[in-house]
């Protein structure tokens, strides 16, 4: 078993990591880290009144002592790599993750701080596994042999970028997308955020910009250990918080340089197989993309758990009056969009010999 630490173990994403890794065939949690106020407490006390998962805290985790996220020497002693899901200022996250990497601890991050750093791969394993080539350049910059940082993209893009990727041969040029994002993306439940009941908030700090910029890196190309973002695509995004517990939905309109037929789009979605599926990684969903023919699908409550929360749901493909086509996508934001996506990325890193 590969020894895993979770940095930020008491937050919602940290809790999701614990829930997902309870019976993982490759990974065993050996270190739980959080802020100084939680350090020294048994895990169940550190999250008393805040455990947000449907399943109870795993028995092997309940009494594990939480340690300080800043205790790099202790973390290095007990882990082979870490998942990082801390709630800190961007500059503090960058500093912490680089200290971990320089201590020769690979970091698989759920945080946004390193996403747009040129030599840090930002991965959706089915889409851009080739970006792992950036790690060699990053190690050279950091002066490490094992340590590096790899990140997953923002949860808001992980519903629609996977649907776009099989269509890249048709050269999409313009995308207009509106995302409808669940409250768990803010680390909240309806019990802790009753103001969201019967409410929609048309602003999520930084999300519009992330949804417009991050896909261009994910869909870019790597040559000679250098990333070239996709420059032929323009994206306009609006991100709304909606009264849904889990599941981010995206309404997408897209224009192509070479307009495909509807049947060509459906065929690409149906036949697409990503590297995670080819490698039979433990967390890889089969299928990765699922198109619903029903007019009223996908739905958050019904479809967010597709593929144990790792699948991407697509529906309502039709012609658009302004651009070429429009469709709707859905993904589970705290599984595929956060802890599950990071777990799949770690599995890919193991398979490629980087962990």
Q: d(Cα 272, Cα 156) in Å, to the nearest integer?
A: 21
Q: What would the DSSP string read from start to end of 177-188?
A: EEEEE-GGGGT-
Q: d(Cα 270, Cα 276) in Å, to the nearest integer?
A: 16
End-to-end CA distance of the chain: 12
Is 248 a catalytic site residue? yes
> Residues 248, 290, 329, 332: which is the catalytic one?
248
Q: d(Cα 208, Cα 204) in Å, to the nearest integer?
A: 8
- List the structure tokens of 351: 């398979």
Is 155 a catalytic site residue? yes
Q: d(Cα 240, Cα 5) in Å, to the nearest integer?
A: 33
- Dihedrals phi, psi of 65, to nearest 5 degrees: -75, 130
- List the structure tokens of 282: 């433990």
> Residues 155, 239, 290, 332: which is the catalytic one?
155
Q: d(Cα 309, Cα 73) in Å, to the nearest integer?
A: 35
Catalytic residues, by residue number, are 155, 248
């Amino acid at each position: 078993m590969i020894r895993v630490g979770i940095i930020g173990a008491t937050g919602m994403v940290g809790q999701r990591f614990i829930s997902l890794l309870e019976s993982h065939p490759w990974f065993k949690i050996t270190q739980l880290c959080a802020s100084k106020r939680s350090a020294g407490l048994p895990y169940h006390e550190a999250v008393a009144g805040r455990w947000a998962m449907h399943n109870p805290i795993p028995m092997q985790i309940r009494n594990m002592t939480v340690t300080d996220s800043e205790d790099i020497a202790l973390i290095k002693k007990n882990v082979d790599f870490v998942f990082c899901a801390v709630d800190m200022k961007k500059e503090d996250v960058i500093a912490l993750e680089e200290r971990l990497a320089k201590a020769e601890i690979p970091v698989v991050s759920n945080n946004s701080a390193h996403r747009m750093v040129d030599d840090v791969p930002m991965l959706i394993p089915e889409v851009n596994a080739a970006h792992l080539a950036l790690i060699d350049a990053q190690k050279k910059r950091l002066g490490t042999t094992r340590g590096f940082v790899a990140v997953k993209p923002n949860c808001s893009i992980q519903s629609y970028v996977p649907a776009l990727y099989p269509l890249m041969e048709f050269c999409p040029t313009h995308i207009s997308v509106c995302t409808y994002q669940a409250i768990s993306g803010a680390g909240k439940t309806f019990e802790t955020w009753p103001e969201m009941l019967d409410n929609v908030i048309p602003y999520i700090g930084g999300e519009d910009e992330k949804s417009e910029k991050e896909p261009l890196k994910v869909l870019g190309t790597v040559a000679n250990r250098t990333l070239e973002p996709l420059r032929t695509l323009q994206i306009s995004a609006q991100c709304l918080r909606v009264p849904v517990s889990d599941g981010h939905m995206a309404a997408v309109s897209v224009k192509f340089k070479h307009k495909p037929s509807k049947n060509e789009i459906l065929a690409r979605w149906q036949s697409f197989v990503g590297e995670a599926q080819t490698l039979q990684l433990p967390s890889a969903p089969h299928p990765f993309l699922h198109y619903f023919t029903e007019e009223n699908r996908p739905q958050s409550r019904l479809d967010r758990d597709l593929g144990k929360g790792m699948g991407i749901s697509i529906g309502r493909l039709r012609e658009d009056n302004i651009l070429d086509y429009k469709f709707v996508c859905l993904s589970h934001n705290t599984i595929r969009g956060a802890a599950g996506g990071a777990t799949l990325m770690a599995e890919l890193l193991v398979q490629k010999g980087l962990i």
